[in-house]
Structure 1
Amino acid sequence: MIKLKNYIAGVSVMFSALMAAQSGNSSVKQYPTMYENQAASLPSNTSATAEKVVLSAKELVDINLNGMMNDPVLRNADWGFVIYDPKTRKVISSYNETASLIPASTTKLLTTETALGLLGEKFRWITQLEYSGELDADGNLNGNLYIVGSGDPSLGTGKAGASTYSRISADFLSAVQNLGIRKVNGSIIIQNAVFKENKRAVLPENIVWLEHHNYYLPVGTTANINPAHEKLIAKKPSPFEKDNKRYFYVSPYINKMVYAEKFEGNPVETKLPDAPFSLANSLRTTLVKSGIAVTGKVEARTADLNPEERKFITFYKSPTLAQIVYDTNQRSDNALAEALLRMAGFQKKGDQTLQSGRDVVNGHLIARGFDMKGLNYYDGSGLSRNNHVTPIAQVKYLTDLMKEDYYKVYFDSLPIAGQTGTLKKTFTGSGYGQVFAKTGTLNKVKTLAGYLKTNSGRTLVFSLMVNNYSGSVDQVKQRMESILAPTLSL
């Protein structure tokens, strides 16, 4: 950095001297002492004008960056900046690139990418409606309705194109009516499951799962489970052995997926995704208002070693994970980001706690080769000031993602300068439509990280984080735009 400052200082002095020489206000030719040995080649006093100084785009970026260090808004701030070439994998220009700074909502870059990497862009959460018992000729269901959920974070919210509770309840009502059900002599029971449609090599750890039709139900914990019953998965079950139960889990002893034909362990202890009570209550109200009485109540059943035989009625599918990630990053939705963090924890460890989510994200980042120095990943949204990351780690991470199959989905989820999401009202001049990045805002924290397209068509990666700035949010936003403006000419 010292060498850079000395270089910039020298170029700045030369630039100023030559401009002064062109002004005509002085008859004495001025130039920096560091260039004294070049005096013979400079124009004489009788020359009409000095040669025009042409600076490269990189020199302009460096000079502009050097000037920002003394800007009143940034002078006493903690801030860092990196502009990075993903092709050469080299830093083009930087300032405090290894400083550990509060990233605010650019934390969502880590959360949403972990979800895509773990689950896949086409992943959907399924909420299925079933019934048990018998349906008589008069339309009386002597049994229960079951809502089998899978932890859909968008359920009922309308976010990312998701349906509202009332819309889903109306669809479920229509399916119940088409089946001929006129009265339910039973309850509406809620359970959570892992659906087979979302093909994954390994089920969530720490839980024993009972195979049940097209999904797995949680029945207990793997803690202290007896390894004597474990069998490696080598063949599909026989269709003639319908009465045989198969319990699947990740063995804590060999760390492989196994199954057993009996379970003698403990009940579920870890936190499963929240049951869709709001949907169940909405459905019950909709049924009753439509003249379909429900004699029982809404109840949750966390685990069930002996589930009733059930029949399928209908299902609701969430938007794809790609759509949810898009909504999360475009609107900087904190609730969705925190839900994705906890779902990442659940899908890996079978536990929807914040700590499990953190562990999964950190493990994912380590596996990716993320530079963990200066990183403290505390929550999924970036609301906490306990989050810290370095600018250089962010740009290298974003560079590595460019080779992933889901990179286009990830890239498309980022707001576009002057056009979409949280960048819609920024870069309305220089940079319009050329910056694709996640924003971040907390009190006295403003951040931006992502990709930019230069005027020549290059794709560069950048990170710009400003902590403890002076002045207003609009003032620091203007400085950030000014820092990035000359990089568009690289």
Structure 2
Amino acid sequence: MKKTIIPLLLIFLLFSCASLKRKTIKKIDVTLNSSFYRNQFTGFLVIDPISRDTLYNYHSDKYFTPASNTKIFTLYTALKTLPDHIPTLRYTEQNDTLYFEGTGDPSFLHHYLKDSTGFNFLKNRDNLAFYNGNFMDTEWGPGWSWDDFQWYYSPERNAFPVYGNTVMIYDTPEWNISPSYFMDSVNTIRNEWNRERNKNLFYFDKGTKDTLEIPFKSNRNTIKNILETSLNKPITLAKKMPEGPKKTLYGIHADSLYVRLMHESDNFIAEQLLILASGELTDTLNTSNAQRYILENDLKNLPQEPRWVDGSGLSRYNLFTPQSMVYVLNQLYKEVPQERLFSIFPAGGVSGTVESWYGGIEEPYIFAKSGSLSNNYCLSGYLRTRKGKLLIFSFMNNHFRHSSSEVKERMQTIFEAIREGY
């Protein structure tokens, strides 16, 4: 009797699971084919990385503006090219002079990261000569909005960032400016702009009891002057680095950058990571060097070749498909230990840009990177089902006129159905 019951139970369970999956797929179909999605562009792909089954596929081969989902590609590039500790500067000594150049490391005296490795190294040396000729890129990425120059999320890119290439103006608990070099460049009046477009003249409405973070215009003289003020010692500008091998000083642990990159969706760190990767691969610092290398090597089998123009996703020139996003997420899943990977990715309902969305009842079930631009919202990452199965997804929404909250609400409904149905 027992021999008969067990096979019948297995058949019943298999039938129940298949029925539940069909109901889940039907629920997603009904949602995505509703009038809400009629006047926007949507792509959605869900796979099981173990069985390699495609669980749901909706326009996943179409190109979308990814916004900060671009950072998933940047993260993968950094993980494949950078060492465990970030190269913070390169140097060589000739006679009694220390010549040094930047690597693109964004952590040097960063307002939040506060890494002091490079600072302490230079502080303890005399006769410093700074070379800035290894940066062969533009200060802004292709397609960035010109009027973003005054906002914290679009600092300029360069070889030797200092203080995150931004000025922090504090009016709480007391009046302060960092770096102090710009103390005389801040006008304490209300103005339409936080900064003059083409020069380092800033505006702050004193008395607001607020903190303002404003990008500054960066060039070799500005960097030199900030370093001299911070180090309290003179620095000369070198026309070139001396011939011969250079030494590398290593600083902050790479994961500190990766966590801030993904949790805070830090555009500046994203851009500088590609510059750092370029410096590891070539003699010059240029974003496209890193992008070209990773696409021609580790990501040569992408389902669709992306249009990838920056590290952060600030540019609307970027074009990626859900299939390519899932491909890279799958590579990360295979190559990075899960505990480390899920500490880098924000957890739904817990951390980062998904702290207020996609929360689990008892514990997180979504680990993903969001991407937002006006009228665009994307989310790509990992979903753990109620049964413990791990799935990989990319959900991309472009050109909608609804509020982003309405878009997220429907996405959350779909994710919850998948969590319960698989």
Q: Same-fold call, TM > 0.5?
A: yes
Q: Which secondary structure state, in structure 1, belongs to the residue aligned with residue 37 of structure 2?
A: coil
2: CA distance between counterparts of 1:431 and 1:449? 22
1: CA distance between counterparts of 2:133 and 2:339? 30
Aligned to 1:361: 294
2: CA distance between counterparts of 1:350 and 1:132? 20
Contact 2:359 2:366 in 1 (8 A): no
Contact 2:70 2:313 in 1 (8 A): yes
Q: What TM-score do you get using the length of structure 2 for normalisation?
A: 0.67
Aligned to 2:31: 68
Is 2:260 the partner of 1:327? yes
Cα 1:397–1:282, aligned 2, differ >3 Å: closer, same or farther? closer
Q: Which secondary structure state, in structure 1, belongs to the residue aligned with residue 395 of structure 2?
A: strand
- Aligned-pair Cα RMSD in Å: 3.5
The residue identity in structure 1 corresponding to 2:303 is: D
1: CA distance between counterparts of 2:371 and 2:78? 20
Aligned to 1:101: 64
Deviation at 1:342, TM superposition (A): 2.4
Gaps of 5+ in 1: 1-52, 134-142, 177-183, 195-270, 289-293
Contact 1:192 1:273 in 2 (8 A): yes
Aligned to 2:408: 477
Tell me how many residue pairs correspond in the alignment: 326
Deviation at 1:392, TM superposition (A): 2.3
1: CA distance between counterparts of 2:411 and 2:101? 48
Out of 101, 116, 130, the position equivalent to 1:190 is 130
Out of 59, 75, 93, the position equivalent to 1:112 is 75
Aligned to 2:366: 435
1: CA distance between counterparts of 2:308 and 2:339? 25
Contact 1:415 1:422 in 2 (8 A): yes
Aligned to 1:419: 350
- 1:60-111 deviation per Cα after TM superposition (whole angstroms, max 9, x unaligned): 3212212213434322211011121111101112222222222111111111
Cα 1:284–1:366, aligned 2, differ >3 Å: closer, same or farther? closer
Aligned to 2:236: 298
Is 2:112 the partner of 1:163? no
1: CA distance between counterparts of 2:244 and 2:81? 31
Cα 1:147–1:281, aligned 2, differ >3 Å: closer, same or farther? farther
Q: What TM-score do you get using the length of structure 1 for normalisation?
A: 0.59
Shifted more, 409-418 versus 107-116: the winner is 409-418
Out of 267, 273, 279, the position equivalent to 2:159 is 273
Cα 1:283–1:389, aligned 2, differ >3 Å: closer, same or farther? closer
Cα 1:417–1:305, aligned 2, differ >3 Å: closer, same or farther? same
The residue identity in structure 1 corresponding to 2:130 is: I
Deviation at 1:372, TM superposition (A): 2.4
- 1:319-349 deviation per Cα after TM superposition (whole angstroms, max 9, x unaligned): 1222211211111111111111222233223
2: CA distance between counterparts of 1:102 and 1:297? 44
1: CA distance between counterparts of 2:411 and 2:237? 53
Contact 2:77 2:294 in 1 (8 A): yes
Give identity over the alignment, percent.
26
Out of 285, 293, 298, the position equivalent to 1:352 is 285
The residue identity in structure 1 corresponding to 2:289 is: S
Aligned to 2:318: 387
Contact 1:188 1:284 in 2 (8 A): no
Contact 1:436 1:452 in 2 (8 A): yes
